Structure 1
């Protein structure tokens, strides 16, 4: 279960840290970091300074940068090559004993400190990732995992992934058909550890109690190491004017109250093993989005619940972990069924002009949201499975796993912006997907 290229990653981390704190270095050095052979030459001559004036542009256009001959060895991603090409040059710039007149770029002291802090931050993040993936919990074949919401999407992928790695797994699905499908898929895996598939409706206390009794009776010599609260629904994607309190309750009953109900039932079993409880939240638990009121409210509720619960569980050596993915292409984000339902439900009389306009606006709004999802949804759902898996097996799990490029570089940064700026960004997106004109109207019920 060692991660791929672990040795190479550790050597890269050591190289970055070593060069950040190194005070003196010879005029010519060759550094082999596994990924790259990096000959780096520093010169005080004016001719060399002129030749390297365009270095950053060269690095971003040619990963075999002629200035310092960076040769990729075993890296498939061109973007990653370019990134490390730039980083290795910046690392050698930030030497405390080299002033602005003796380095390749005319940075002053403050600029060197700033760039140096960036390099140190990158090095620390690489070290952190290395440590979390290197140190794995012992005896995973004796530690069971309970997962909710495995009918489709992330839950089913995680169940298959755990069983393939020989981890005892209790898999739950809401629909009987999904139970049969998952049972067939798991039976095809030659796993040394057992797996169980049962039906569970998280909105029903009786169903949760039955699932708890099943786990308790079948746990045997295993211990319940992790509880994964994955079950969730999107709910209705409409402006608030078109929603009712029942629409909000529908999303809350599954995403929030269902999660609390399952957590209360299984929490003490996880505490016995000093394990972890994992919650599926979302970037929408950090930032709001129009037309997703019920879903956003439920995810904010989950985030608040976990923040409070985490502090209580810490006294019992039990972790509470949040997974907050961006937008991914799963059955949950498919709005086609909603559009069909709205188109057929309670068709208004042909002479009711106002109602016809309202229905058209509703369908236009849903189509705009569908276009938004088709633009931002990633098909690489396996990264969420990997985040789940690390949260389960790592000795030092994170408290939050933000997953997806859109989450890292758009939604989470936006959550730290002043509210006024966040609203301006929201206007930009609603205009892009032709939703702003619909949201601007007052749709009375």
Structure 2
């Protein structure tokens, strides 16, 4: 069994090395649309591709981000975009189509926009708590593809979707985020298989924990404490008054242990998916994401359950 696993891993490593050697020679001048360019991976990718000579359309949600791009770049075309609003997406489509060179489509659509949503046990959360992460992380992706697909088909280009290592492993206390990413994984796999004969390829980025502002401890602490206060008395008694503080401690320890400042690794994966002659289907980025996905793939599920149990606080009612 161990020899078989090692053999499979060696084959995967060799294939990935081979695929990473060859880049497209005519990437300059191709057109790419990126969502979620206000900060983090999206912003870094926009400037990276711009330096490579790619025509970048950067979708931004905030007015501040729009102004920042206009003050710092003459070549990046910045566009107001709310991926939760179909009308906003359709307006962005018209802007892109108008600004594309004649008889040219989009080489790549990068669905980078994302949000964390609510924190805390799923038993604390209401249906409304799931709506924002699902609307951005899943339905935002679906809306973008529905509207922009004709432009990608025109160039027989690529769709690159941001999911997460948490889209393969059910992380605790971030239920809405994890559920939205699991769904985004399934959507991306389905989309890839359905578009296979069209010439459009679909690629997935699965990062671990990176220092992008998603994991803001003051926000996490406030959200978890607020969600605990909304519980009825019976559930409060079951978990215990100090349970919210214990979860916050686990979050803080996890972030300090795994959060990586090396955002360029995710941007490198994005760049390869866009510019490589033989892009990978999946890019697992980060030590934590690679380790957990490996364990989840090759080891019994009870091991992952045990790890989750061992790192989670115990409710008062289970002591």
**1:288: Cα distance to partner?**
0.4
**Whole-Å separation in 2 of the counterparts to 1:262 and 1:367:** 37
Alignment-derived partner of residue 386 in structure 1: 268
What is the CA–CA distance in structure 1 between the aligned matches of 2:302 and 2:69, rounded to whole Å? Answer: 46
CA-to-aligned-CA distance 1:316-341 (integer Å, 9 cap, x gap): 01101110011111111223224245
Structure 2 residue 319 is matched with structure 1 residue 437: no
| Residue equivalent to 1:365 | 247
1:219 counterpart = 2:106: no
What corresponds to 1:100 in structure 2? Answer: none
Pairing partner for 1:173 from 60, 66, 75: 60
Corresponding pairs, count: 311
Asked if 2 retains the 8 angstrom alpha-carbon contact of 1:286 and 1:415, the reply is no
Computing the radius of gyration from Cα coordinates, the structure with the larger value is 1
1:154 is matched with which residue? 41
Instruction: Please state whether the residue corresponding to 1:256 is helix, strand or coil.
Output: helix
Q: Which range is displaced more, 309-318 or 132-141?
A: 132-141
In the TM superposition, what whole-angstrom CA distance separates every residue of 1:216-237 from its partner, at most 9, and x where no partner exists?
A: 0111234310000000001111
For 1:272, the equivalent position in structure 2 comes to 154
1:54-93 map, 5 Å? none
User: What TM-score does the superposition give when structure 1 sets the normalisation length?
Assistant: 0.64
Instruction: Name the CA distance, whole Å, in 2 between partners of 1:120 and 1:252.
Output: 35
Rounded to whole Å, the distance in 2 between the matches of 1:419 and 1:344 is: 32
**Partner of 1:299: helix, strand, or coil?**
helix
Give me the whole-angstrom Cα distance separating, in 2, the residues matched to 1:299 and 1:308: 14
Could you tell me how far apart the structure 2 residues matched to 1:360 and 1:185 are? 47
Larger deviation: 213-222 or 279-288? 213-222
Contact 2:16/2:280, CA 8 A, preserved across alignment = no
The whole-number CA distance in structure 1 between the counterparts of 2:40 and 2:259 is 13
Quote the residue 2:139 is aligned against: 257
**SS of equivalent to 2:73:** helix
What secondary structure sits across from 1:209 in the alignment? helix
Give the unaligned 5+ runs of structure 1.
1-110, 188-193, 349-353, 431-435
1:184 positional shift: 2.9
Residue 179 of structure 2 corresponds to residue 297 of structure 1: yes
Q: Deviations over 1:262-298 (max 9, x none)?
A: 1111112111111110000011111101101101100
Counterpart CA distance in 2 for 1:330 and 1:205 is: 26
- With a CA cutoff of 8 Å and minimum separation of 6, indicate the structure with the bigger relative contact order: 2
Q: Deviations over 1:132-177 (max 9, x none)?
A: 2332223212310000001111111111111111111000111011
1:427 to 287, 309, 316: 309
- Equivalents in 1 of 2:158, 2:180: separation in Å? 22
Q: Aligned in 2, Cα 1:359/1:269: closer, same or farther, shift over 3 Å?
A: farther
SS of aligned partner of 1:233: coil
User: Matched residues in 2 for 1:367 and 1:151: separation?
Assistant: 29
The answer as to whether partners of 2:20 and 2:279 remain within 8 angstroms in 1 is no
Determine if the alignment matches structure 1 residue 310 to structure 2 residue 187. Answer: no
Contact 1:171 1:196 in 2 (8 A): yes
Quick one: distance in 2 between partners of 1:291 and 1:345? 11
Aligned residue for 2:72? 185
Among 206, 209, 216, the alignment partner of 2:87 is: 206
Aligned residue in 2 for 1:74? none
Question: 2-side partners of 1:125 and 1:241: how far apart?
Answer: 39
Superposed displacement of residue 304, structure 1: 0.7
Q: Residues of 2 paired with 1:409 and 1:370: CA distance? A: 20
Name 1:332's counterpart in structure 2.
214
Structure 2 alignment gaps of length 5 or more: 231-235
4+ residue stretches of structure 1 with deviation over 6 A? 344-348
Please identify, of 321-330 and 403-412, the stretch whose mean Cα deviation from structure 2 is larger.
403-412
- The alpha carbon displacement at 1:120 in A equals 9.4
Asked whether the 8 Å contact 1:237–1:366 carries over to 2, the reply is no
Task: Give the Cα–Cα distance (whole angstroms) in 2 for the partners of residues 347 and 136 of structure 1.
Answer: 54
